[in-house]
Structure 1
Amino acid sequence: MTKAQRFFTSIKDKKTAFIGVGVSHTELIKLFLSKGISVVICDKKDEDHFDPDLYEELSARGAEFSLGENYLDAIFSCDIVFRTPGMYYNDETLTRARKAGIVITSEMEVFFELCPCRIYGVTGSDGKTTTTTIISELLKAEGRRVHIGGNIGKALLPIVETISESDAAVVELSSFQLISMRSSPDVAVITNITPNHLNVHGTMEEYIDAKCNILRHQNAFSRTVLSWDNETARNLSGLVRGDLAYFSRREKVENGSFLNENGILCYSDRGKVTEILDMKDIRIPGMHNVENYLTAIAAVWGAVKAETVRKVAKEFNGVEHRIEFVRELDGVRYYNNSIASSPTRVLACLASFDQKQILIQGGSDKGISFEPMADEICRKCKALILMGETAQKIQDAVTSSPLYKKGEPKIVRVNNMQEAVNAAHDYAESGDIVSLSPACASFDMYRMFEERGNHFKQLVNEL
């Protein structure tokens, strides 16, 4: 009997609650029901707003429901609770449940306990999705069977019984997932750490502490990859127990990947340097993607050959919603960068193109400052189109920059994405770049950044 089979047998008589029915829970709920485990679905949507087909299917399989305003009351009659990653671990109700002896866990936590294969885990404030995807592409190109999940892809716990020891799992991990995790991956990657999600975590200290869980529980035979160029990440080296590799695009590192003075991505294995590829051969644009490749190389070095890296770099088209080319119209190129929910992501987009850009920005407030991007917006934007609840905060940050001159950039306020795309189209001239790079979360107008990006693409393609 495998470890996963023993786990499911051990909880057969336990009543299990699932908070939220999203990407990470739908298939997991079906798995639990198929194994005869009692399931309660807790969701703040009431029955009128719950997907009727899904409600009917899960109900027919034996699931109970606790919906609407008091949806969390039901967890106190359960033995185990799976929280959705979007629900804050230190939520008052969950804290009370833990004190009452109820198990509070998550899909990713249990997957880490049961996964039989090597796990590559990636976290960071920026770049983690593309880096996670590049790592998975490199391993697949080397012939490995790869399972990608966590914050992207699909839930992996529902398929854990089909995973073999020779496979590889590559997972993106957010601070919301990591805050409660007490297991770490075999290979832990921290791309960088900059202020983010402070509206939930409250303090930068809690945010950093959550990120540290990706390496805090590693052993002496594990591998850790840290950014040399990001001081906050670099300073975590004291927590590392196993093999430590850095990546840097500014300096040569003794152990890890770096960009040399000739624009060649290299790997230094305790001082022995291997040249891998010219940065010009990387298909996806921007210096931030050079960093993403350096990060991925450091994570898979020894498991992936240099020629495999070169092949993937020349062919891989990038990840949706990350400086994603949408179309060219009348000489104007439109890019969907909806993932850019922080100023540092916006800066990466601004640095990806030589010409001045027209930016569409604004959204829900995560409690972070927009000042870090203000100077660069003044240098590299000809127009700034603002919408959403943060529009005034962004405008204030930009107009307070010492580089701001009245009308440079031109600032336009709009009410929604339709108006934003129309304004960008009206203002843009042949040779311009228009980018949706919001610097904010999407929740004031959209359920998630993917929905925001897809709406932008739809409107641009309708022009």
Structure 2
Amino acid sequence: MRARDLIKTASPAAPLLNSIYRDDGLFWYALPMSSTYHGCRITVMGLGRFGGGTAAARYLADHGARVTVTDLRTEAELADELAALDDVPLEGIHVGGHRENDFVNTDMVVVSPAVAPSSPFLKMASFANVRLSSEIELFWNAKRSPIIGVTGTVGKSSTATLIADMLRAGGLGGHLGGNIGHSLLGEVDDIKPEDWVVLELSSFQLHGLRRLKVSPEIAVVTNFVPNHLNWHRTVEHYRQSKQTILAYQTPNDAAVLNADDLDVSRWETLGNRLTFSGGPSTQSTAIVKNGEIKLSHQEVSTSLTLPPTLDSPHQSQNAAAAATAALAAGVDIDAIATGLREFAPLPHRLEQVGQTLGRTFVDDSKSTTPRATVAAVEATPKPLRLIVGGADGDIDLRPLVDAAARSSVAIYLIGQTAIQIETLLRDFAPQARTIRCSTLRAAVLRAWGESRNGDTILLSPGCPSYGEFQDYRDRGMTFRECVADIAAEDSAQAA
């Protein structure tokens, strides 16, 4: 039966009975999985926006499981995800809400990383002794090859992509997946045991892997700044989740750590510690200085020139982290140099998307933390007109405010955090020019209307996208559409 023929809109769930739970909300069961899912009843909770849920449903169904998927979003909102499942034999699809039966009369629930542990439906499942798992756990249980895991508050995607490029250039696999938006579950049976896999790992995914008590053979930590506290609730819980990437390493493994981050540099691991630095450290495996990376590891001692795409404070550290991890994996210098030289900025990450009448538009919609915006502001040519704001992630916005006030001729505020940012700017930088805008489009048009020849208009929100947009990609595409409209109007007037 096709997916669209199974769709049912959920009725409201029955009221929850009061139950006793620990403060973390759930009793998780890290039971060993059997070698087959055949005949198991499995609920996939949340199809996700980047393919993880659909990949899990397809993988489990292909391995004989009786799969039901459930999501809070409506059929219309899930059109792409449901289309991707149209040829998958599923037992049911419940949209528009969750049903208690899907969480208590099942053998396992595969949980989307975005679902907080406080979810009442997860508490139902836990109370019913139902095993909780995730897409990344399914992959980990199935994989046969070594893993390079990359985490950190910012820089994960670029660093993971660079590592994968270097591995491929060296003929060592370089399969890339995880939080970067691509699930490797569908490819896991085709990945050779000798191939390296690169996984970008979010704090949510690492929180799940802690149940398995596993860490990657090579673990990379780019940096650490408190984030996602609306999910983790405390900084310590966020830190502990991140530290899972090191917690279960052995002396045969490698830990690639940021020597310039005083928090990360003290994290404990049994793995062989390798560090990278933007210059302060003189003892690191990779040191960035004057547009070059100096590498020193075992028999290797050389310097590589950074291409313009990586020659900024933020990107150069990502490049140093990637080069260190590649060395640990056995990649030769020529392949590392090729990976650096051929790197292309990822979509929505400091990506120049247009130039009109001397104005440059830069899409950094992937910036969902203040630290990412600070890095973007430092790397972007001035004069700068900055668009910031979004959903409230319960994080300290003062670093964003400080960078914006110091480096911008005008700051255009959008989203739920607009009032909060405006208040902080009024208190700490009353001289800053701020304009609150009702939508992103309004902000782009206002910035364009006030801009001058030579200005850069930068979208670097520093906050999650939820509210006006589905995700950072949706936000970035809206920005691009606005830029395209401006360019089209300018061309029409010039004709």
| TM-score (normalizing by structure 1) | 0.91
Paired position in structure 1 for 2:242:
211
Does the 8 Å contact 1:442/1:448 carry over to 2? yes
Does the 8 Å contact 1:18/1:83 carry over to 2? yes
Does the 8 Å contact 1:43/1:71 carry over to 2? no
Pairs within 5 Å for 1:427-438: 427-438=450-461
Residue 240 in 1 paired to residue 269 in 2? yes
Does the 8 Å contact 2:61/2:88 carry over to 1? no
Q: Considering only aligned residues, what root-mean-square deviation do their CA atoms show, in Å?
A: 2.2
In structure 2, do the counterparts of structure 1 residues 57 and 96 end up closer, same or farther at CA, with 3 Å as the change threshold? Answer: closer
Pairs within 5 Å for 1:316-355: 316-355=343-382
In structure 2, do the counterparts of structure 1 residues 368 and 56 end up closer, same or farther at CA, with 3 Å as the change threshold? Answer: closer
Does the 8 Å contact 1:229/1:248 carry over to 2? yes
Does the 8 Å contact 1:254/1:269 carry over to 2? no
Secondary structure, in 3 states, of the residue corresponding to 1:179? helix
Report the alpha carbon displacement of residue 273 of structure 1 after superposing the two structures with TM. 6.9
Task: State the alpha-carbon separation in 1 of the partners of residues 99 and 75 from structure 2.
Answer: 11
Paired position in structure 1 for 2:480:
457
Q: Deviations over 1:304-351 (max 9, x none)?
A: 222322233222121111100101111111100001111111110111
Report the alpha carbon displacement of residue 413 of structure 1 after superposing the two structures with TM. 1.4
Does the 8 Å contact 2:100/2:124 carry over to 1? no
Q: Deviations over 1:39-92 (max 9, x none)?
A: 111111345654399279548724312333343541111001110111123534
Paired position in structure 2 for 1:172:
200
Does the 8 Å contact 2:143/2:188 carry over to 1? yes
* Aligned partner (choices 30, 47, 51) of residue 79 of structure 2: 51
Q: Percent of aligned pairs with the same residue?
A: 28
Does the 8 Å contact 1:141/1:308 carry over to 2? yes
Secondary structure, in 3 states, of the residue corresponding to 2:287? strand
Task: State the alpha-carbon separation in 1 of the partners of residues 326 and 287 from structure 2.
Answer: 14
Does the 8 Å contact 1:136/1:148 carry over to 2? yes
Secondary structure, in 3 states, of the residue corresponding to 2:409? strand
In structure 2, do the counterparts of structure 1 residues 65 and 373 end up closer, same or farther at CA, with 3 Å as the change threshold? Answer: closer
Report the alpha carbon displacement of residue 462 of structure 1 after superposing the two structures with TM. 1.4
Does the 8 Å contact 1:112/1:185 carry over to 2? no
Report the alpha carbon displacement of residue 457 of structure 1 after superposing the two structures with TM. 0.8
My pick for the range that moved more, 226-235 or 308-317, is 308-317
Does the 8 Å contact 1:18/1:81 carry over to 2? yes
Residue 367 in 1 paired to residue 394 in 2? yes
Pairs within 5 Å for 1:260-299: 260=289, 262-269=290-297, 274-279=301-306, 281-299=307-325
Task: State the alpha-carbon separation in 1 of the partners of residues 90 and 400 from structure 2.
Answer: 51
In structure 2, do the counterparts of structure 1 residues 53 and 165 end up closer, same or farther at CA, with 3 Å as the change threshold? Answer: closer
- One-letter code aligned to 1:241: L
| TM-score (normalizing by structure 2) | 0.86
In structure 2, do the counterparts of structure 1 residues 116 and 109 end up closer, same or farther at CA, with 3 Å as the change threshold? Answer: same
Q: 5+ residue gaps in structure 2?
A: 1-31, 487-495
Paired position in structure 1 for 2:159:
131
In structure 2, do the counterparts of structure 1 residues 422 and 49 end up closer, same or farther at CA, with 3 Å as the change threshold? Answer: closer
Paired position in structure 2 for 1:446:
469
Does the 8 Å contact 1:82/1:106 carry over to 2? yes
Residue 98 in 1 paired to residue 129 in 2? no
Task: State the alpha-carbon separation in 2 of the partners of residues 314 and 55 from structure 1.
Answer: 38
Report the alpha carbon displacement of residue 275 of structure 1 after superposing the two structures with TM. 2.7
In structure 2, do the counterparts of structure 1 residues 362 and 252 end up closer, same or farther at CA, with 3 Å as the change threshold? Answer: closer
Q: 5+ residue gaps in structure 1?
A: 1-5
